Amino acid sequence: MRISPCLPAALLAASLFALPMLVRAEDTPAKPAVPEKPMPPAEVTSQGTVDAAGQHIAYTAIAGTLTVGATDVQDAQLGPDGKPQAGSQLLLNEPKEPKDAPPLARMFYVAYFKKDARAEDRPITFFYNGGPGSSTVWLHMGSLGPKHVVTAGDQHLPAAPYKMVDNASSLLDVSDLVFIDIPGTGFGRLTGKDPEKAFWGVDEDANAFARFITRFITKYNRWNSPKYLFGESYGTTRSAVLADILENQKNVDLNGVILLSQIFNFTTDIDLPSGNPGVDLPYELALPTYAATAWYHKKLPQQPAALEPFLKDAEEFATGPYAHALALGTDLGKEEKEAVAEKLHEFIGLPIAYLLKANLRVSGGEFSKTLQDDQDLTTGRLDTRFSGPNLNSLSEYAEYDPQSSAISSAYVSLFNDYVRRDLKYGEGQTYLPQAQFGTTQWDMVHRGNPVSLNVAPDMAEALKTNPRLRVMVNGGYYDLATPFYAAVYEEKHLPIPQALAKNIEYAWYESGHMVYVRDESLKQLHDRVAAFIKNTQADAK
């Protein structure tokens, strides 16, 4: 799930230890009024079964935390339990106050291991969501884990009780699964001096995940297992940087990188492209998603019978006449502008007068607000199949996301119930679905470049240094947060030799950002990802 990097959240306010109350001099020894709250367990193991892809699978589930340092040097001084090892500089230079200690991140995870499987024969896939700042509750409860939140249709779900079922599309038939929450979310916590600055940034975050993965495969003896990354939304941004770090700094060759709802180059972001005038690429790459959305809601002047042939025409128009018109800028003549507006109207359904007033350039928020404005409805962003009442009928932009409002409560509520009831973890603790940013924001500077984030070079470097690495790109036609055609553009413009382009494959779904909320798309996602893993295993032999 992708959220704005500047979305504010409540301040983190959980103390790990209770303080003893003041006592009279004669009260010896002093005792705390309330028993000191113990630290959560490092891990809790439970058992489960699921019927998936024609198999009855018995699995072991482990919910727990791993602690990582903010630098490789600090991390190397931590023992398997996450505490400084005897004789390490972390102990020798131990500060007087815990708040002045080096920053550490206790990262929460849930792992599912198929029983009676040999490590070297059993792939392992690491899952994480995006944001930046989101926990992995969405992928965990919606995609390929053993449980699935029921979210049929494109309407706001009724309030609790929600429904969770065994996931017949769980990927456990072909891979063990590890769902990882970013530092400062889930049941994980940050400690030490300025930990937010140490972990909340493009490079800081990817390095923390690299340290987590190497610690995890050490703890569970999985160094010789086939390894896969599965990131969604900003998680795909993380995957590009993380794959490069694992390949070229950690000596971990990956078998595959699975990308869902990709964004590598943030100059293609359709949310606020007007803030970067002169760069028209976002408008062009979002046009096929606008077209798919207008087709779904039957807002086109002439409704095509089938979606995908219509989208091919939209793509050709977007990169042809439309791109040419935008490139002309103020040199675009009145007649050509009107002709392009008329054609644009045929593809995306917005009124010609509106398109001319917008100078042919419509942001994602403007499209969401305008497409169904005649019905006083706002169109979804994460999944444009969803709609909801306008919050302000006179606003220029969409003021909320109907899809996020429709399903978020079900995911968070059911996970909080499931993790405590079935996984036996989290009693007395608060699960944080997203980072509590407060005044601290995500550092978008990557490799010292403060201008614009683009991690395509990282993905390219991972592919070039490991030419056996395979990449799978998945996306929804109705995703306006990370439009599918932008992912196509990014992948086809990676700075790699043409021969490596064959390492990349694509899969599209009639769903949105979280393709798995639609049952048919979830099954397709399983089947395609399972085939990808099996094919990469066959290629390795």
Q: Is residue 23 part of a domain?
A: no
Cα torsion through 198, 11, 101, 82, rounded to 10: -80
For residue 411, tell me if it sits in a domain. no
| Boundary residue ending a domain (403, 437, 457) | 403
Q: How far lies 37's CA from each of 251, 383, 407, 428, 434, in Å?
A: 40, 42, 34, 9, 24
Nearest to 45 by CA among 103, 112, 142: 112
**Does residue 63 lie within any of the structural domains?**
yes
Residue 420 maps to a domain: no
> For residue 510, what is the DSSP state?
S
Which pLDDT value is given to residue 91?
57
Cα–Cα dist 258/113, whole Å: 19
Secondary structure of residue 265 in the 3-state scheme: strand
In this structure, are 462 and 503 located in the same domain?
yes
**Dihedral of the CA atoms 504, 236, 398, 326 (nearest 10)?**
-50
Count how many domains the chain has.
2
Domain boundary, last residue among 403, 428, 457: 403
Task: Kindly state whether residues 93 and 158 are assigned to the same domain.
Answer: yes
Which of 344, 379, 403 is the last residue before a domain boundary? 403
**Do 262 and 278 fall within a single domain?**
no
Domain residues for the domain of 64 are 43-267+445-540
The one-digit pLDDT tens for each residue of the chain (541 residues) are 444 433 333 322 222 222 222 222 333 334 444 444 566 778 999 999 999 999 999 999 999 999 999 999 989 989 888 888 876 666 556 665 667 788 999 999 999 999 999 988 899 999 999 999 999 999 999 999 999 999 988 889 889 899 999 999 999 999 999 999 999 999 999 999 999 999 999 999 999 999 999 999 999 999 999 999 999 999 999 999 999 999 999 999 999 999 999 999 999 999 989 989 999 999 999 999 999 999 999 999 999 999 999 999 999 999 999 999 999 999 999 999 999 999 999 999 999 999 999 999 999 999 999 999 999 999 999 999 999 999 999 899 999 999 999 999 999 999 999 999 999 999 999 999 999 988 788 999 998 887 789 999 999 999 999 999 999 999 999 999 999 999 999 999 999 999 999 999 999 999 999 999 999 999 999 999 999 999 998 776 6
Contact 142, 151 (CB under 8 A): yes
In this structure, the answer to whether residues 461 and 362 fall within a common structural domain is no
The CATH number of the domain holding residue 452 is 3.40.50.1820
Amino acid at 39: M
Radius of gyration of the chain (CA): 24
Do 242 and 107 share a domain, yes or no? yes
- If asked whether residues 280 and 381 sit together in one domain, one would say yes
User: Which pLDDT belongs to residue 153?
Assistant: 84
pLDDT of residue 90: 62
In terms of domains, do 392 and 491 share one?
no
Answer yes or no: is 490 within a domain.
yes
Instruction: Compute how many other C-beta atoms are within 10 angstroms of the C-beta atom of residue 205.
Output: 25
The answer to whether 163 and 150 are in contact (CB under 8 A) is yes
Q: What is the pLDDT of residue 95?
A: 66
pLDDT at site 36: 41
Whether 474 and 354 share a structural domain: no
State the Cα–Cα distance between residues 11 and 435, nearest whole angstrom: 9
Angle, helices 334-348/307-317, rounded to nearest 10 degrees:
160
Q: Are residues 367 and 495 in the same domain?
A: no
* 282 plus 384 within the same structural domain: yes
**What is the identity of the amino acid at 533?**
I
491-520 as b/e, with b when 16 or more CB fall inside 10 Å?
Answer: beebebeeeeeebbeebbbbbbbbbbbbbe
Do 222 and 362 lie in one domain? The reply is: no
Eight-class DSSP state of 11: P
How high is the pLDDT of residue 22?
A: 27
Say how far apart CA 85 and CA 92 lie, in whole Å. Answer: 10
* pLDDT for res 10: 30
> 437 in a domain, yes or no?
no
In a domain, 512, yes or no: yes
Whole-number Cα distances in Å, 471 to 22, 239, 244, 460, 506 = 60, 11, 13, 11, 9
Would you say residue 466 lies in a domain? yes
Name the residue among 334, 378, 372, 376 with its Cα closest to residue 356. 334
Contacts with 483 (C-beta within 8 Å, 6 or more apart), sequence order: 270, 285, 286, 288, 289
Same structural domain, 253 and 357: no
- Helices 234-248 and 456-465 cross at an angle (nearest 10°) of 40
